[in-house]
Amino acid sequence: MQRMLLTLLLAFAVGAVLGKLLLPVLHRLKFGQNVYELAPESHKKKQGTPTMGGLVIAGAAILTALVMNDYSEPLGQNMLLAMLLMALGNLCIGFADDMTKIRRGKNGGLTPKQKMFFQTILALAFSTYCYFHPQVGSVIEVPFLRVQWDLGILYIPVMMFIIVGTTNSANLLDGLDGLLTSVSMVDFLTLAVLAAAAGLSGLGAGCAALCGGCMAFLMYNAYPAKMFMGDTGSMFIGGAVVAAAMLMRQPLILVLIAFWMLMSSVSDIIQITYFKATHGKRIFKMAPIHHHFELCGMHEVKIVAMYMVTTAALCALTLLGVL
């Protein structure tokens, strides 16, 4: 536990320094956010705010985790390195998406087909890795019921679906100042506790580093945001969250700890399906659902606080169901 706490504090310190160094660089390079044309009116003033700040979270987490990693176990079975590689792979997809948007000067990066292709390849690789890992395999834990399900070879396609769904859901949740950052901070702290309780100290240290990185980035990302994480950060976070849960054989806890990520995707799917079925009618004023709350008159800060408190409660429930 002391190692985890030290890792968290070190990642926070590294992230705080990286943020201070990166912010003026992003300004000089003019790597600004291109606001979606149909976004709420209050978002128009965010046009040009530096993006790709997710490099702060990734840099702080990766540097700190590598320093604190236990290299005594075989590299091929090192869960911390596996989680970081999974997250880094997703970061590369997000980075390519952000750079495409910046070059085009509008809110449109990689095409859905391009994104899905790379995400599918990455999901297949990581699911296969977990399937053959001696401490993971095809078995998943069912929280609260305290039983195990052996999915057999179906483990790979099922986990691929969960990986792609979670990473895209994290991307959708990144729509308000500090929203994904604050929610993820709570998620990674919960995952760190679960990993430590399962005897996976290296993985726990990695999750603690991610929590510390999010804490540091929140100083720049809280309302009013000085810097956005971009797809670079949201894809990195989504990949890390789902990788940690899978390596602990706990992918089902994502329903609780990643509840608002899930709701972002669900609300988007409902909105699109209903819109097409009714030829133009909408259930929500705007999707994902955090924009609906915003257009109903809730301030960004209040929405973020609501999401964070709800996530904390669900994470506490998760700990009760697993520990």
CA distance 112 to 275: 19
Query: Exposure pattern of 147-180 as b/e (b: 16+ CB <10 Å)?
Result: eeeeeeeebbeebbebbbbbbbbbbbbbbbbbbb
DSSP assignment of 28-75: HHT-B----TTS-GGGGGGTT-B--THHHHHHHHHHHHHHH--TTS-G
pLDDT at site 42: 62
Strand blocks (E) in the chain:
139-142, 147-150
Predicted TM-score of the model (pTM): 0.94
Measured at the alpha carbon of residue 163, what is the angle toward residues 85 and 176, in degrees to the nearest 5?
Answer: 90
Q: Supply the mean pLDDT for the chain.
A: 92
Half-sphere exposure of 287 (CA within 13 A, CB side): 20
pLDDT at 69 (0 to 100): 86
Q: Please give the Cα distance from 71 to 202 (Å, whole number).
A: 9
Q: Quick one: which of 247, 240, 245 has its CA closest to 130?
A: 247
Residue type, 245: A
Res. 190: pLDDT tops 70: yes
Give 3-state DSSP helix, strand, coil % of the chain, rounded to 5.
75, 5, 25
Q: How many CA atoms lie within 13 A of 230 on its CB side?
A: 36
For 201-206, what is the mean pLDDT? 94
Q: What is the pLDDT of residues 72-106, one digit of tens each?
A: 888 889 999 999 999 999 999 999 999 988 887 66
**Torsion of Cα atoms, 60 then 65 then 66 then 71, to 10°:** 180
Mean pLDDT check: name the lowest of 74-78, 127-131, 245-249. Answer: 74-78
Task: Tell me the pLDDT band of 43, cut-offs 50, 70 and 90.
Answer: low
Task: Give the model confidence (pLDDT) of 1-24 as tens digits.
Answer: 788 999 999 999 999 999 999 999
User: Which is more confidently placed, 164 or 48?
Assistant: 164
pLDDT band at 36 (very low <50, low <70, confident <90, very high): low
Does position 44 have pLDDT exceeding 70, yes or no?
no
Q: What is the mean pLDDT of the segment spanning 165-178? A: 95
Q: Please give the average per-residue pLDDT across 272-280, as a whole number.
A: 91
- Looking at residue 127, its pLDDT comes to 98
Which residue from 9, 23, 26 is spatially nearest to 60, judged by alpha carbons? 9
- Which 8-state DSSP code applies to residue 285? S
Q: With 60 as the cut, is the pLDDT of residue 178 above it?
A: yes
188 Cβ neighbours under 8 A, 6+ residues apart: 207, 208, 210, 211, 214, 240, 241, 244
Q: What is the pLDDT of residue 29?
A: 84
SS3 150: strand
